[in-house]
Structure 1
Amino acid sequence: MPDTGLASALFPSLSAARAAKQRLVSGGFARNSIDIERHGDGFEVLIHVRDEHREHAESLLARSPITHSLHERGGQAVTAFKDNRLLALGLAGLAGFAVFSLFRRP
């Protein structure tokens, strides 16, 4: 049986805690392994993880919603370029031509 532990983070509002839970779910963690508990004026998100996945869970908990969104969109863009190598090559050629045209002006 692998070693398991808890990763947790405190959030000022329930909506921020729910957003963190969603980041964990979109990061591949099971929804039923994540709990949200009230602590004073804030909320704590707890997740039961294996030790080898704890660092990933903690980074998702610490990530801001904006950073997470940019990270996801960037990953989707990279995937799109990998899936459409001809498009990527065409865009790289166009960018190269634009740079060449800028330096060529008198």
Structure 2
Amino acid sequence: MAQDTVGVEADFTSLEAARAAKDRLVRAGFARNSIDIDREGDTFIVHLPTQEANRQRAARILRGRAMIESAKSTGWAAADTVGSNRLLTLGLAALAGFALYGLTSRR
């Protein structure tokens, strides 16, 4: 890295998410060959050397999507839990039905 460049990196839980982040950076104008994906255990790290002027933009692209990916994986885990527990699913459906009934029957 040259002296006027800084490193920007973000962690992802899957290789697919890391590759998607790399693609977003390339679409935003960063050089594909300067973006590295490293693996440390179960974590994939996207590393980009860039100029100081572009650091915040690159970090925003990486960090914002990392939060979305984390929320998405948490949501899928919750959906799997609800789907595998029939009693919980039935209870949530009944609660939603009572809520809709209460909202529509008011005058």
- TM-score range, shorter-chain basis? 0.5 to 0.7
Offset, 1:39 = 1.0
Deviations 1:72-98 (A, max 9, x none): xxxxxxxxxxxxxxxxxxxxxxxxxxx
Aligned mates of 2:16, 2:3 — CA distance in 1: 32
- Tell me the TM-score normalized by structure 2: 0.57
Note the aligned Cα RMSD (angstroms): 1.9
Counterpart AA for 1:15: E
1:87 aligns with: none
Counterpart AA for 2:21: A
Offset, 1:37 = 0.2
1:2–1:50 CA contact under 8 A, matched in 2: no
Superposition pairs of residues 1-106 of structure 1, within 5 angstroms: 3-64=4-65
Aligned mates of 2:38, 2:65 — CA distance in 1: 20
Offset, 1:5 = 1.0
Aligned mates of 2:56, 2:40 — CA distance in 1: 23
Aligned mates of 1:64, 1:33 — CA distance in 2: 19
- Deviating above 4 A after TM superposition, structure 1's stretches of 4 or more consecutive aligned residues are none
Counterpart AA for 1:38: R
Deviations 1:46-87 (A, max 9, x none): 00100110000000101228x7xxxxxxxxxxxxxxxxxxxx
The gaps in structure 1 that reach 5 residues or longer are 68-106
Name the count of aligned residue pairs: 66
Counterpart AA for 2:51: R
SS in 1 for 2:55: helix
Offset, 1:2 = 6.5
Aligned mates of 1:58, 1:26 — CA distance in 2: 15
Aligned mates of 1:5, 1:56 — CA distance in 2: 13
